[in-house]
Each structure stands twice: as C-alpha cells, then as structure tokens.
Chain A
C-alpha cells in the first residue's frame, strides 16, 4: 500500500519508514511563521518557557500583515514587539511594512516555502502554502513558541481526502468557485483533522495563484492541510524565485484515501456563499436580489495580481454604483507594484475603488473597511462568520473577483453576464 503526499512528508520528517493515519509523530519543522497579531503572544510564552534562543533563526519567518500599517497604538506595539524579537534572534526573514504582504501570499512569492517541507504558521490560512507541495498547517501562539524553542512538533497523521478535478473552467469561473462548491459538498467540518489533496488534469492546468486559492480554503472544511503535489508549474514558479530544481515528493499511485471526490469543471458555475458559513453555497444567480453596501477584493484567498486583473477587466470604463464602496487590497507589495505598472490600479481607482496598501485588514474586520450595523458586503475572502468583517449584525457573502466587480457595478450580487 502506498502513501499520500501528507503521509510521505510526515514520515520523512519523523524519521520513520511509513506514516499511517492516526499515528502520533514528532516531526521536525522546516519553517515557522508568525504575524504581528500572533507573534507577540508567542514571544511572551517563549520567554516564560525559559527559552532564550530560537532553535534555528533561518527557519523563522515574521510577517507584518494583520493590523498594519498600525491601526492604533496597541497594534503599533504588537509590531514593535515582533520587530525587536527579529533583531534579538537574528531572524532575517522579517517583513516590514512597505516590503511585506499577507503572509500566505508572501511566503510563496518570496520562495520561502518548498515542496516536501513542513511549515507551521500561527495563522489558520497557513494551509495555503500546501499548493507548493509542502505540508503547511496553522497553529496557535503557544504551539508556535514551542516550535521556535524545539524545532519540532507533534502531529497526528491525518487521513487524506483526494479531490480529483477534470474539465476546464467556463468563462469567469475560477478555483474560488471550485473550492466554494466543494465546501458546499463537504460542509465546514467535512475534512476536519484531514489533509485534502487536490489533483487531476484540471489542477495540473492551474497556474500557481489559482492553486493557492484552492488550498487556502481547505481550513474552511476543517482540514489540517490543503496540498497539491509539485509539478512543472510549481518548479517553474520556484525557479522564477531563484529556487533550484529539487526532488519533490509525490503521492503513490496506490495511496489510500479516506474519500475521493470527483469534480467536472464543465458543470461548475459561479458560486456564492451566504452568511454565516462558507459552506452555505449556491449558484451566484440565486442572490441577485441581495443589495450590498460594500465590495471587498483582496485577502490571502483572492488578492493576487490575476484577481485584481480579473476585476479590472470588468470595471474598465464602468463605475462603482453610487450606493457601494469598493475596497481593493493587493495581497503583497510586489503585487501592488505590478498592479500599478500594468495599469490595473489606475482602472480600479478610475472606476471609484478605494485601493489600500497590502494588509489582512478588511477580511477580518480589523481596519480599512470594517462593516457597520446591518451592513451587507460581498467579499473575495474566505470567511463569512457572524461579525467577521465588523458589527455582529453585518452580513458577508463570498464570491470570486469577477462576481465582486460585477456586484460593485450593479449594487447587488451580480455575475459579469448580468452587466448591461
């Protein structure tokens, strides 16, 4: 019996021949990531543990992304604490405001995560990086402090669920619609504790940003990791970032999966999740009567250059409805710069969008687009839990960037084909 991708990576990091679901293993971790909201507590706990030096400064990555540029004095102090720790510990992968971005988009972009590695991050969307063929999972701050101190972590080897995708996307339909569709099928705990391995000809054909979007939302089904085995697309993406070709682990042909779900993209349309769960998914047209106050395009799910470009293609020469605020946040500084150079941001600003500097901001109701009482938003983000983007009475719908752009123009949830 062969092994899944998650089983192979975990066995290699625990120094055992084989890892089977249910095994409890202590694994070496290759990369340890924290952000301005989670690192300060980790630092406090790290010191209380009696630790003085991180086990390996080269493994550590610290990213300013959640409450930056500082939204208030407390946030400024959070970043300040993380900044001082990076200096003290000699952590070079420290990303400052203006040279940073949302961690889950930033790490792949900077070539900091590689196939076959284990990445732990104190943020639940750490699973995004699994798109590069690594095992990437979210942890809390105390767990992260322990990983800094020990360089290892215990895991229960997860069952693996295989998603086999065939066919090609219809116009404007993206991997966001695919993952929303899958969440509708699986529910928010359908993959709880499991690794989700995506594959098949349609995944092979996806560019990296689409793969990142897919793995990003594995956590919304409760998964420990979302993964795509590295292939030519991955290696080319890494080569552009100066990472030399490497021997990437692959799942075995005869690997054992807890469940296999097959999806034909030919049957997939534009999907929207309604409040207050990302699994409450229906075709976008079901929500055509829903008026919105705000549209948000950005986040670690859909703040990539291609996402901004898809929105700009629809907004070009058109205007955001007078009743709507459109907020756009490029995921990283590099995406921001490229979007300027290619005229994407010019198009968006001319249409009436407010463009912000890279941050997690609006997605989690932190800053730069918080919702007021009873307000309704459509967002390209990953979560629509109650109060996620602001007041407890506000409501969030999730969709892809093209749906977001059409919605901003129409003032109600719309598809690109609904535009006059």
Chain B
C-alpha cells in the first residue's frame, strides 16, 4: 500500500455511501474477499462488480462508509477489484477498517468535483498526489497520521501485530 503506482478508471458516487449499500448484510455470512466481491456496492448498483476493471477507483463525496462496523465492506471492495477509494471524508470505522485490511484510501476535498465517470486516475505514493490523467489535473492528497502510516508501512494491522508479538517473544 505504500509503494508503487495505483492506476484505474473512476467510478463516481455521492455522499454518505453507507456500509449497507457497500455490502448488504445478507452476504455477510462470509468474510472471504472473493465471495463478497461480486456483491460489492450492490445496494446502489447490482452490476458494479461485473462492470469494473481490476484497479479501478471509487471516487465519492462526504462520509464514505458510514454506518456499521462490518469489515466485510472494505473486503468486498477488494474482492471486486477496487484499487482505491478517494473521498472527501470517510466514516470513522470504515477508515480504520480500510487501514487495517490494506485497502488504499485517500482523502481529497476536490477529487469528486474534478473527476468524471471513466476518467483515468493515478496515484504515485511517493508524490502524495492524485493525478487525473484524462483531464491533466494533479490534486494533493491528505497525509496519514503517524500511527496510521506505521500500520500501513507494516502492511496492515495483522502484519503490524505479528511483528509486535514476535518482537516480545510471545
């Protein structure tokens, strides 16, 4: 999640995309990414998972992922092949879940208004920029807080805890 380049087409959504539409609870008897993937975003667009190409971006407005704590939400997006989510802001539990499961996500106040459906987007991690290749725009992305960066560096919370447990010989 920290190195390299992310690139994909933009799929636009509005404000307050909640976890019930990201992954309806009837699919939550599994937490397997591949099983969840086909149902990602099905509350808003049942065809979403079949339409997107691997690596495509979700670009949304305020409060993306508000609602429940279900980790199935970021897992379903990963299972569908979503490469990153860019939103003005995120629901706080989704924000933490995305960090923990390694779903790339970026806060950008302008992205949703500077982007059309299908625009080619690119994030080069070391730049801290979101590039809209189609429109020739570059937008600054918010920096992660240090604790968050540390978990992302480690490759997600699972790897971070594994490292800590090994470190203290547990």
SS of A interface (majority):
loop
Residue of B nearest to A370 (CB): B26
A249 to B165, CA, bound (A): 33
Residue of B nearest to A52 (CB): B170
Contact with B24, one of A50, A140, A149, A365 (Cβ below 8 angstroms): A365
A394 to B41, CA, bound (A): 17
Q: Digit string of A220-240 for contact with B (CB within 8 Å is 1, else 0)?
A: 001010000000000000000
B96 on interface, CB distance cutoff 8 Å: yes
- A358 CB, nearest partner CB in chain B, Å: 18
The reply to whether B161 and A277 form a contact with Cβ atoms under 8 Å apart is no
CB-defined contacts of B66 to chain A, threshold 8 Å: 188-189, 222
CB-defined contacts of B68 to chain A, threshold 8 Å: 123-124, 364
Contact with B164, one of A142, A150, A364, A387 (Cβ below 8 angstroms): A150
Residue count of chain A within 8 Å CB distance of chain B: 50
The reply to whether B16 and A189 form a contact with Cβ atoms under 8 Å apart is yes
- A62 CB, nearest partner CB in chain B, Å: 15
Residue of B nearest to A224 (CB): B92
The reply to whether B147 and A142 form a contact with Cβ atoms under 8 Å apart is no
- A191 CB, nearest partner CB in chain B, Å: 10
The reply to whether A123 and B63 form a contact with Cβ atoms under 8 Å apart is no
A50 to B18, CA, bound (A): 32
The segment from A39-47, A88-96, A306-314, A326-334 found at the interface with B is A39-47
A69 on interface, CB distance cutoff 8 Å: no
CB-defined contacts of A287 to chain B, threshold 8 Å: none
Residue of A nearest to B101 (CB): A142
The segment from A11-19, A71-79, A165-173 found at the interface with B is A71-79
B157 on interface, CB distance cutoff 8 Å: yes
- A150 CB, nearest partner CB in chain B, Å: 7
A263 on interface, CB distance cutoff 8 Å: no
Within 8 A of A (CB), among B49-76: 62-63, 66-71
Residue of B nearest to A41 (CB): B31
The reply to whether B63 and A189 form a contact with Cβ atoms under 8 Å apart is yes
The reply to whether A41 and B71 form a contact with Cβ atoms under 8 Å apart is yes
Q: Digit string of B117-128 for contact with A (CB within 8 Å is 1, else 0)?
A: 000000000000
Contact with A385, one of B18, B28, B89, B166 (Cβ below 8 angstroms): B18
A142 to B66, CA, bound (A): 18
Number of A-B contacts (CB under 8 A): 134
- A262 CB, nearest partner CB in chain B, Å: 25
Q: Name, among A40, A72, A126, A386, the residue most crowded by chain B CB atoms within 10 Å (CB to CB).
A: A386
How extensive is the interface on chain B, given as a class? 35 or more
CB-defined contacts of B24 to chain A, threshold 8 Å: 365, 387, 392
A392 to B21, CA, bound (A): 8
A122 to B68, CA, bound (A): 9
A392 to B166, CA, bound (A): 46
The reply to whether A45 and B158 form a contact with Cβ atoms under 8 Å apart is yes
- B45 CB, nearest partner CB in chain A, Å: 10
CB-defined contacts of A224 to chain B, threshold 8 Å: 92
The reply to whether B67 and A385 form a contact with Cβ atoms under 8 Å apart is yes
B162 on interface, CB distance cutoff 8 Å: yes
With A142-B158, A192-B63 in contact, do A40 and B31 touch (Cβ < 8 Å)?
yes
A319 on interface, CB distance cutoff 8 Å: no
A262 to B97, CA, bound (A): 34
A67 to B26, CA, bound (A): 10
B136 on interface, CB distance cutoff 8 Å: no
- A59 CB, nearest partner CB in chain B, Å: 16
Contact with B92, one of A192, A366, A386 (Cβ below 8 angstroms): A192
Which A positions have Cβ atoms within 8 angstroms of B?
24, 37-38, 40-41, 44-45, 48-52, 67, 72, 74-75, 78, 121-124, 126, 138-143, 145-146, 149-150, 154, 156, 188-189, 192-193, 222, 224, 277, 364-366, 383, 385-388, 392
Given A142-B71, A188-B16, A189-B89, 18 other A-B contacts at CB below 8 A?
Answer: A24-B146, A50-B165, A51-B170, A78-B29, A124-B93, A139-B93, A140-B93, A140-B101, A142-B101, A145-B161, A146-B160, A188-B63, A193-B92, A224-B92, A365-B25, A386-B43, A387-B43, A392-B43
A/B interface sample: 29 pairs, CB < 8 A: A24-B145, A38-B70, A38-B71, A40-B31, A44-B31, A49-B162, A50-B162, A72-B29, A78-B29, A122-B69, A123-B68, A124-B68, A139-B93, A140-B71, A140-B96, A142-B71, A142-B101, A146-B161, A150-B161, A188-B16, A188-B66, A189-B16, A222-B91, A222-B92, A277-B16, A385-B67, A386-B21, A386-B44, A388-B20
